[in-house]
Amino acid sequence: MKTEEEKDKLLIRWLEGDLTAEESSIFENTPEFKDYQKIVSETEHLPYPQMDTKIAFANITKKISKTDSKASTPTKIVTLRRTIMAIAAVGILLVSFLFLFSDSPTIYTNVGQYVSHILPDGSKVVLNGNSAIDYRPDFTEERRMHLEGEAFFNVQEGSTFRVKTNLGSITVLGTSFNVFSRDEILVVACKTGKVQVESGTHSIVLSKGESIRIDNQKFQGRVFQNPNRIGTWQSGDSYFSSARLEEVILSLSGNYDVTIDLPPTLKSRRFTGSFVHNDLKKALNMVLSPMGISYKMEGQHKVVFTD
């Protein structure tokens, strides 16, 4: 039996996502664990007040330009937007330049497409809409690639196979798993075998049916779901098990050419269910109606919330 002090230490490090696999299993077997897990996961979904950062920023600019005009330079913030746009434009040029002239094979999909691709080692990757992978010509020597968006992998056994995303990396030997990496959200779900996920300084090993969500490099609790449900989007049906609505909407905009500006208060609500990929109206109805969220289409490509 662990002493109180040792338990405290485990608790403290568990909260920071710092336990080794062995320590995790010790900690997960303490009688307190389930309570702590529930407290932590529910805490994140309490309705804390938010500041409207846009309005606050406008107020700040007003105050700043007042004090600055007293000093000397009058038009300060007006140019801000233009500067950012210029920088963004240069960034886009640079990225597309790198894209066009590097010799890495790049596979990508447009919104609403899927592409199935066999990698040089025989592993299979299926890309969901608006996603891309690229890997080096020497892939068979070192199995690694970069992913943006969402993809399902079925990996041939062999040397280490690594998928990097902007938010973390996933390492496996031979297994199948799904990676969703859009905006600040990374979700990795393991369908068979074992998968190692790393983000920032943390690392976690997932077994069959387990998935982990990483939000801004912060590990959320491990979730178990039916492995048969993992990667179902390949057959035209995206399935979710108490996923944050934010994630569902991001996923939806990978399958449809649509802009959905989800109000911040709705982002953390939970959705369990699925949506189809071949009918936008139906898909929206499948997600939003059961949650009692009222919305309407503005033109063909925009959803607005009417509450």
Q: Which chain residues interact with other proteins by CB under 8 A?
A: 8, 11-12, 15-16, 32, 35-36, 38-40, 42-51, 53, 56-57, 59-60, 63-64, 67, 73, 76-77, 79-80, 83-84, 87, 215-218, 265-266, 269, 292-293
**CA-wise closest residue to 275 among 263, 294, 290:** 290
**Between residues 56 and 92, which has the closer beta carbon with respect to other proteins?**
56
**Between residues 9 and 124, which has the closer beta carbon with respect to other proteins?**
9
Give least dist CB 270 to other proteins, A.
8
**Between residues 173 and 266, which has the closer beta carbon with respect to other proteins?**
266
**Between residues 83 and 300, which has the closer beta carbon with respect to other proteins?**
83
Residue found under tokens 């208060």: 265
**Between residues 74 and 137, which has the closer beta carbon with respect to other proteins?**
74
Count CB atoms within 10 A of the CB of residue 10: 21
Give least dist CB 292 to other proteins, A.
7
**Between residues 66 and 300, which has the closer beta carbon with respect to other proteins?**
66
At 82, is the secondary structure helix, strand, or coil? helix
HSE (side-chain half, CA atoms, 13 Å) at 245: 21
**Between residues 51 and 100, which has the closer beta carbon with respect to other proteins?**
51
Give least dist CB 80 to other proteins, A.
5
DSSP conformational letter for 183: T
Q: Long-range CB contacts (< 8 A, 24+ apart) of 79-83?
A: none
Give least dist CB 56 to other proteins, A.
5
- Find out whether 144 and 159 touch, Cβ atoms under 8 Å: no
> CA 160, 161, 165: angle at the middle one, nearest 5?
130
Give least dist CB 173 to other proteins, A.
31
**CA-wise closest residue to 135 among 122, 124, 120:** 120
Q: What residues does 190 pair with on adjacent strands?
A: 177
**Between residues 117 and 202, which has the closer beta carbon with respect to other proteins?**
202
Q: What is the dihedral of CA 74, 80, 81, 87, to 10 degrees?
A: 140
Give least dist CB 35 to other proteins, A.
5
Give least dist CB 242 to other proteins, A.
12
Strands 124-127 and 218-219 turn out to be unpaired
**Between residues 46 and 100, which has the closer beta carbon with respect to other proteins?**
46
Where are any strands of DSSP class E within 255-294? 259-260, 270-276
Measured distance CA(102)–CA(158) in Å, rounded: 27
Give least dist CB 225 to other proteins, A.
21
Give least dist CB 182 to other proteins, A.
19
Which amino acid is located at 254 in the chain?
G
Residues 6+ apart with CB under 8 A from 222: 204, 206, 210, 211, 212
Helices 280-288, 245-255: inter-axial angle, 10-degree rounding:
180
